[in-house]
Amino acid sequence: MSLFFKKTKKLESEMDEYLDLVIKGGLIFKLGIKCYTDGQMDEFENHLKDLRKIEDRADDLRRNIEIKLYSRTLIPEARGDVLGLLESCDKVLNITTETLLEFSVEIPEILPELKQDFLYIADSSISCLENTVSGIRAYFKNIDAVRDYVTKVQFYKKETNKIAERIKRTIFRTDFELSRKIHIRYFTFHIERIAEQAEDVCDRLSIAIVKRFE
């Protein structure tokens, strides 16, 4: 992150750690969904605990970074954009944690024929998150690479939507009671939200790039 933080190594380190936590959160989410669909509930609950710890640590880091950016009057020309990126990225991690928590609380029944699609949609939505983090890193270190990551996020967002539509079309063409169909749609929507929020971060990222070249 040398473009911004040449004289603030501690802050640079905290930013890197924060983004590392977001990536780890996404990986744990995928492991959690895999364990859930395999019926490995003890392992699933352990992943949920780990994800909540990561979210707590990420929240603490984000607050520390924000305080330093304000109190030390660092990068005043881009401070608002950096804070906006941090806050919107934090929402992605929050949604990721909330979604896994909802699986723990409501225990949705995933039909065997939908198991693979739930793994696919989890993987696609987390690919959005991962490329969003890479885009943020590039914003600080190699701004020319940002567009490539934004394009990848847009691609995986569309893939996530396609998989979600396939899940919903499959479940609503079964003979199951409406409540079960709606329950599956609800969880499909929550996983979709991860990708949608990641795309929102990239929208902010694209605007921040334009402002840097004005």
Q: pTM for this structure? A: 0.91
Reported as a pLDDT band with limits 50, 70 and 90, residue 95 is: very high
Cβ–Cβ under 8 Å, residues 198 and 191: no
127 to 24, 59, 144: CA distances (angstroms): 12, 22, 20
CA within 13 Å, CB half, 149? 25
For a pLDDT cut of 70, what percent of the chain falls above it? Answer: 91
User: Within 13 Å and on the Cβ side, how many CA atoms surround 36?
Assistant: 29
- Provide mean pLDDT across the span 141-159: 94
Q: Which domains does the chain have, with CATH numbers?
A: 9-212 (1.20.58.220)
Looking at residue 5, its pLDDT comes to 52
Alpha carbon distance 201, 206 (integer Å): 9
Closest CA to 44 of 23, 26, 28: 28
Residue 19 pLDDT > 80: yes
Cα dist. 72→43, 75, 208 in Å? 43, 9, 21
Say how far residue 23 (Cα) sits from the centre of its chain: 8
Is the model's pLDDT at 55 over the cut of 80?
A: yes
| Average of per-residue pLDDT values in the chain | 90
Q: Is 190 exposed, middle or buried (0-12, 13-18, 19+ CB in 10 A)?
A: middle
Residue type, 136: I
